[in-house]
A and B are shown apart, each in its own frame.
Chain A
Amino acid sequence: MIAIAPEIFVGSMACIVLLVGAFSKNQYNPITYILSLLTLSIALMLTFATMPITANTLYANSFIVDRFAHSFKIILYLLLVGIFVYSRNYTYERKFFQGEFFALSLFSLLGMMVLISSANFLTLYLGLELFVLPIYAMIVLVKEQSKYIEAAIKYFIIGSLGSGLLLYGISLIYGGVGTISFAAIANTTTPNLLLLQLGMIFVVVGITLEFGAVPFHMWLPDVYEGSPTTVTMIISTIPKLAVFAAAYRLLTLAFVNLNSSWQEIFLVLAIISVFLGNFMAIAQTNIKRMLAYSTISHIAFILLAMFVAPTAGFQPAIFYTIVYAFMALAAFAVIIYMTNVGFEADLISDFRGLNQRAPWLAFIMLLIMFSLAGVPPLVGFYAKLQVLQAVVNSGYSWLAVLALLASVIGAFYYLRVVREMYFVAPQQNSTIDANMSVVGKILLSGHGLALLIFGIYPAMMVYWCLTMLQ
């Protein structure tokens, strides 16, 4: 019970937030907001307190508790706190600021926590569904615009397809080895290899579909663009971590004997993702779409890191995923900062002349963009450096060259945002009316500077990622 205290707590608090929201007279009562933040902070403490020293599996090998799971959960809380704080004013204006939104976020969080700790296919599927279903609902929580509905339906259909593929794969694997527990799959002495491998392919496809790797990426730009920015913020950050954790579990536990088979898939997906993501991003005028394609290229780097993980370890992949999530959060926070009533600030041209209108914000965005592009001394560089070192050490120098070549192409569109902010005169000269609370502003400054500070001194973070794997 102690081991799953954070899950129990988040689950019950989600119900309470839902009830409080439903019964309070004022629909936009800030109490649900405060309650959710409280939930996250207490969950954070609980998770810290119950941090296990060794890995344990519970409930008939269905739920795994280890440092990795707990650390990832902590990062999820932090990210979600960031999302709530940054988008407080935005959600209020867009009439999101209500119990349902927070309850749905917490339910989604619970799903991701289950996913991170999953040790068999049943919990994996349970976690995955629990985290995506609330997101579908969140997109259309306010039916203001038809594009919200379009985005939600697109995500729903593709997500369901992914779940279907996953389930199909699970059933094939069960047919092949007669078990759904990850550890037991790896230990099966006489598996039906054909069924197992076929099932593995379906499962990997299901997972990469949630990731948004090419060629399963079609939903990503549309959903990013069509969703309200708060929800885009959620979709672009925490699910990536959760899905990565699920992939980590699968690859290190269930498919550990099939390394060469899934590695091939990851290699191909990574190469096409890194090129397509970067090339498509150049053509975008909408910054949310641009960030969607940039996500694809970053996912490609994570896939690349996982591709060499059997020889080089998972630490580079973990580092990259975490750094990516924080960079994406900061980028969307800047977009939210610039929004206003009836103004979404989602075009790249909306950033025109930002340096003259709000120099500090422009500087923060500059840091974020250079970090995403992987230019030192920002933390994004070390993420790329570690992945590339792992790739080169595994004997794939040509792959490192390809990946870097694509990221030079990628640098172009990040720099284009810098160009709009710094080199082009603003369309209007008024200062930016920040759509963010004071706390949010301070947090955003710290967040942007952290990208620089961790870039100048990355050792701590690298060390922290290493301890996760102990």
Chain B
Amino acid sequence: MKISLPWLSIIIWLPIIAGILLLFLQKMKAIANITRFLPLITAIVTLLPIYYVLQNFTLGTGNMQFTELHNWLPTLGIQYALGVDGFAILLVALTVFMTLLVVIAGFNQVKKDIYLQYCANFLIMQGLMCGVFLALDAILFYVFFEAMMIPMFLLIGLWGSANRIYATFKFILYTLFGSLFLLVALLYLNHVAVHVAGLSQLESFRIANLQGLPLELTAQKWLFAAMLLAFAIKIPMWPVHTWLPDAHVEAPTGGSMILAAIMLKMGGYGILRFLLPMLPAACDFYANFVIALSLVAIVYIGLVSIVQKDLKKLIAYSSIAHMGFVTLGLFLTCKIVIHSDYKNSALGIDGAVLQMLSHGFISAALFFCVGILYVRLHTRQISDYGGVVNTMPIFASFLMLFALANVGMPGTFGFVGEFFIILLSFKISFWVALLAGLSLILGVAYTLWMYKRVVFGTVANDAVAGLQDLAINEKIVCMLLAGAILLFGIWPNPLLNILRGSSQQLISQLHKSTVGQVKL
């Protein structure tokens, strides 16, 4: 049964409004026992519209569904236009799910007097992040993309650890720097859409209208460089990744989880939505360059992870290495579609999106596990731990699962995306596949070695001896994450079904754009 409500607007604005209300409620200490559960209720309630949308989502089509359209700034051609397709719906669902986990996790990990503020921040951020994925208008996308940084900036700065101010400034300045190029690129595309292609001014910022514009290769190259910089910083790609370890290390647990699970995905999503369909020729031209950068991220950053002494830093670097697969998959597809038989290359797009999702679950799970240790011992140094399995057996088994998933063990979600992409890379070259495959070895090295040093062995010191095993809310979060990782690892088909329509459409867009062009 279809109910005509602005479902997507509800997904965006419900948590934002609830978050603002929570900020006002936090002063009322008298009802603190009731308000304490409001974030949880809000987070659960926001699952309902997403459930409804998933239920009524039409499979097998790449068209936007549940679209909403209002004029917002007609003189500039900006609209409030929302819609979902296969890519967006999965990422939105991930966002909502992850915020729920953060809210649950915060129950015993955050001080009582700031819990409401903390959750309000995450709920507002949740709405804004959903907005990024749901926006069909380029400027609306940009507005959400930037606005989302404000709560993150405050979050790291307010509740981060010792070096938080440096980290949060590095984070926001890096991102602002990247997105300025994105803004100019969008304005230029809009200029071309209106003044060269002759589109109507009224909806000239619609993402769909900015795709397939008649652009010269030189212009495409400039635009590509500008946009890639913006998205590469978000992903982050080597060598513009240096903000990420700092931000992750200093952020509170929830901040790290959201940063890793959702915010990094915006870069990949941007490439899917903007770079590939808007600038196919330039994507093809620079594909080798991006593939090379991705391989550097996979191999070099993998090596860097091995030598980390700080748990969070290790996971942060492993994030960069895993996100390397996303860019690798996307640009491999681009190359294959343009230069050869394109029928099977949806593998790359699907692999990249699955990799984004699996990384969302796994990295969030690992950051959460570090958070569990950190609230107990207030240290993130690997050398301060050892023999945790003796005092926290349940924790140790969950961490084992997450560590294996991070390695890419078959049967876990971490395997699916990487496998797809490595498979695809054999079509381009054996050496690309070999280098990408190195990730499986490096991943084992850094993850399991870390696991061995932290968990196995004899109890290292008195602090570890006094550790308490998981509290009830921590168990719930671990179980939800472990369930998702195993379920989609064994049975990724539902996700592929949702993706199919959109990835086919992207492939045919890429293919169409090259018809009639000289094959290189």
Beta-carbon contact of A388 and B143 below 8 Å: no
Q: Does A397 contact B (CB under 8 A)?
A: yes
A411 in the interface (beta carbon within 8 A):
yes
Number of A-B contacts (CB under 8 A): 90
- Checking B75, B146, B154, B187 against A388 with a beta-carbon cut-off of 8 angstroms, the contacting residue is B187
Q: Is A422 an interface residue (CB 8 A)?
A: yes
Counting CB contacts under 8 A, is B51 at the interface? Answer: no
Assess whether A463 is interfacial by the CB under 8 Å rule: yes
In this complex, the interface size class of chain A, counting residues with CB under 8 Å from chain B, is 20 to 34
Q: Which of B154, B172, B184, B195 contacts A401 (CB 8 A)?
A: B184
- Bound state CA distance, A386 and B205, in angstroms? 13
Please, how many angstroms separate the alpha-carbon atoms of A382 and B75 in the complex?
A: 12
Query: Contacts of A405 on B, CB cut-off 8 Å?
Result: 177, 180
CA distance A66 to B187 in the complex (A): 33
User: Is A404 a contact partner of B158 (Cβ separation < 8 A)?
Assistant: no
Q: Are A382 and B73 in contact (CB under 8 A)?
A: yes
Size class of the B contact interface (CB-based, 8 Å): 35 or more
User: Within the complex, which residue of A315, A389, A418 is in contact with B190, where a contact is CB–CB below 8 Å?
Assistant: A389
Complex CA–CA separation, A221 to B5 (angstroms): 54
Name the A residues within 8 Å of B172 (CB-CB). 411, 415
**Chain B minimum-CB-distance residue to A397:** B188
Q: Is residue B456 contacting chain A, with contact meaning CB distance below 8 A?
A: no
Residues in A whose Cβ lies below 8 Å from that of B183: 385, 388, 404
Verify if B380 is at the interface (C-beta below 8 Å from A).
Answer: no
B252 CB within 8 Å of chain A? no
Interface stretch, picked from A56-64, A153-161, A227-235, A369-377, is: A369-377
Taking a contact as CB atoms under 8 Å apart, the answer to whether B157 and A423 are in contact is yes
Instruction: Determine the distance from Cα of A412 to Cα of B172 in the docked complex, in whole angstroms.
Output: 9
A462 part of interface (Cβ distance < 8 Å): yes
State in angstroms the CA–CA spacing of A382 and B183 once bound together.
Answer: 12
Looking across the interface, which residue of chain B has its beta carbon closest to that of A375?
Answer: B146
Q: Is B200 an interface residue (CB 8 A)?
A: no
With A423-B164, A459-B71 already in contact, the answer to whether A393 and B180 are too (CB < 8 A) is no
Who on chain A is nearest to B142 by CB? A376
Name A377's contact: one of B143, B173, B187 (CB within 8 Å): B143
Q: Does A432 contact B (CB under 8 A)?
A: no
For the complex, what is the distance from the CA of A189 to the CA of B61, rounded to whole Å? 66
Q: Which residue of A lies closest to B27 (CB)?
A: A359
Indicate if A466 sits at the interface (CB-CB under 8 A): yes
Contact residues of B: prevailing secondary structure: helix
Query: Chain A residues with Cβ under 8 A from B217's Cβ?
Result: none
Q: Interface readout for A444-470 with B: 1 if CB under 8 Å, 0 if not?
A: 000000000000011100110010000
Partner of A392 from the list B75, B149, B154, B191 (CB cut-off 8 Å) is B191
Contact with B along A412-429 (1 / 0, CB 8 A): 100100110011100000
Answer whether A463 and B75 are a contact pair too, CB < 8 Å, given A408-B173, A422-B154: yes
Residues of A close to B184: CB separation below 8 A: 388, 392, 397, 400-401, 404
Do the beta carbons of B169 and A419 come within 8 Å of each other? Answer: yes
Residues of A with C-beta under 8 A to B72:
457, 459
**A381 at interface by CB-CB < 8 Å:** yes
B432 at the interface (CB under 8 A from A): no
Verify if B139 is at the interface (C-beta below 8 Å from A). Answer: yes
**Complex alpha-carbon distance, A389 and B191, angstroms:** 8
Known: A388-B187, A393-B191, A459-B72. A401 touches B169 (CB 8 A): no
Interface contact A411-B176, CB-CB below 8 Å: yes
Contacts of A376 in B (CB 8 A): 142-143, 146-147
A377–B164 alpha-carbon span in the complex (Å): 25
CA distance A400 to B223 in the complex (A): 14
Q: Mark A390-412, 1 if CB is under 8 A from B, else 0.
A: 00110001001100110110011
In the assembled complex, which residues on chain A have CB atoms less than 8 Å from the CB atom of B143? 376-377, 381
Q: Which residues of B contact A377 (CB under 8 A)?
A: 143, 147
A404 in contact with B180 (CB, 8 Å): yes
Interchain residue pairs with CB less than 8 A apart (13): A375-B176, A385-B139, A388-B187, A392-B190, A392-B191, A393-B194, A397-B187, A404-B180, A404-B181, A411-B173, A419-B157, A423-B164, A463-B75
Residues of A that sit less than 8 Å from B by CB: 315, 370, 375-377, 381-382, 385-386, 388-389, 392-393, 397, 400-401, 404-405, 407-408, 411-412, 415, 418-419, 422-424, 457-459, 462-463, 466
